[in-house]
Each structure stands twice: as structure tokens, then as C-alpha cells.
Amino acid sequence: MRSPDFSGLQRVGGVDLSFIKGDDVNACAQLVVLSYPELQLLYEDSQMVTLTAPYIAGFLAFRETPFLLEALQRLRRNRPELLPQVVFVDGNGLFHYREFGLACHLGVLSELPCVGVAKNLLQVQGVSKSEEHQSQIAALQKGGDSFPLTAASGKVLGKALRSSDKSSKPVYVSVGHKISLDTAVHLTCACCHYRVPEPIRQADCRSREYLRTHFPAAST
């Protein structure tokens, strides 16, 4: 995956958890695998899970990783030929309080390259929704434009990316595991039809649909 055209890349994965409305314990853990570059569905796994760890800001990985990892392990056992070559995670990687977010946990434990893509800015290590940050967002002219998320220490923790010409609101990309930041940003952009990269968008849509189908009273 070092080349800009990602030659050899055939499968990209996406993971997400969706909760029953009003219930922060029972969720649908979702894995999808899409073909690359077509971004057509090859595999999906929807599994109801019961979360045991409480929600604590900055410790999301301890709450969610075990169930997303189980989905990847099921795929590895049952359809190893469909194992994704890179996984997009709805959350942060190095762009985190301890520089080790959900995408890092999942990547290390699964031994797969992972990219963290967050929809909202985590205000951490001196990165904030300042006037300067807002002006940098306004300066992103087209899909593919980005700027670094630089900590007070000077370390670049991730990038804000305008992922599509159609969306002026950026996503926040950071390294999870076994991938460089520039590659993560370029691949995120290559996987976007809309603002959110297709593997994460499909995982989100399909987990929500699963909940609507199986728990219609709870999802209204």
C-alpha cells in the first residue's frame, strides 16, 4: 500500500457500533468488507453485543474494541480470503489523549493496518476549535485538501481532511496501526463518496438498519 494508486489493495474494511435508542449497553457491532476501488459490499457481519465497560471519555477502546475484534476474528476463521487489508475505524488513532485510541487498539490486537476517522474534533494536547482552526477549515477548497493537527509539543497527531468536494465539513484522520499518516489520508479520500469513508458509512448504515429491523419499537 505504499504506492499512490494502492496497487494490490483489493479489500477495505469498516467497523462501527450502533446502540439501541435510550440504551447505552446493548449495541450492534458491525463489520463490513468492501472491494477496492469499486467499494462494493463483499461481506457483512452484524452481531448484538452487551457492553460491560462503562463509558469514560478517552477510554472508548476498552469499551468497544473486544466486540469489533471478535467480528474480525470470526471473519478470519470463516472466510479468511475476505479479510480486509486495511480497516477504517469510526474513532481516533494517535490523535488521542494518550496517543493510543480505538483504531490503535484494534490494529495492534488484530495485526491489521487501521485508520482512525473521527467526525468530531477531539480537543486534546493543545488542539482546539480555535479561530485559527476554523479559518484552516474554511481554507480547505476541495476534496483531498488537508491540514495537520499539531499538538502543543509540535508533534503532528493527525490531519483534518476535506474528504469530498460535496462536503465542506472535515473529518479527522489519524494513524491506527501499520500505516503512515499520508497514506491514511490519501486512502480515506479515495474511499469517500460522501463526507465519511464508505467502509465506515456502510458499517454505520447497516448496523442501524439491523437495529431498526430487529428492535423496531426501540429505534423509533
Q: What are the mean pLDDT values of the chain's consecutive 10-residue runs (220 residues total)? A: 70 96 93 98 98 89 96 98 98 96 98 97 93 96 97 96 94 98 97 97 97 79
pLDDT value at residue 1: 36
Superfamily designation of domain 11-122+171-214: archaeoglobus fulgidus dsm 4304 superfamily (3.30.2170.10)
Q: What are the extents of the domains in the chain?
A: 11-122+171-214
Distance in angstroms (rounded) separating the CA atoms of residues 31 and 13: 7
Distance in angstroms (rounded) separating the CA atoms of residues 196 and 188: 8
Give pTM, 2 decimals: 0.95
β-strands 114-118, 86-90 pairing: parallel
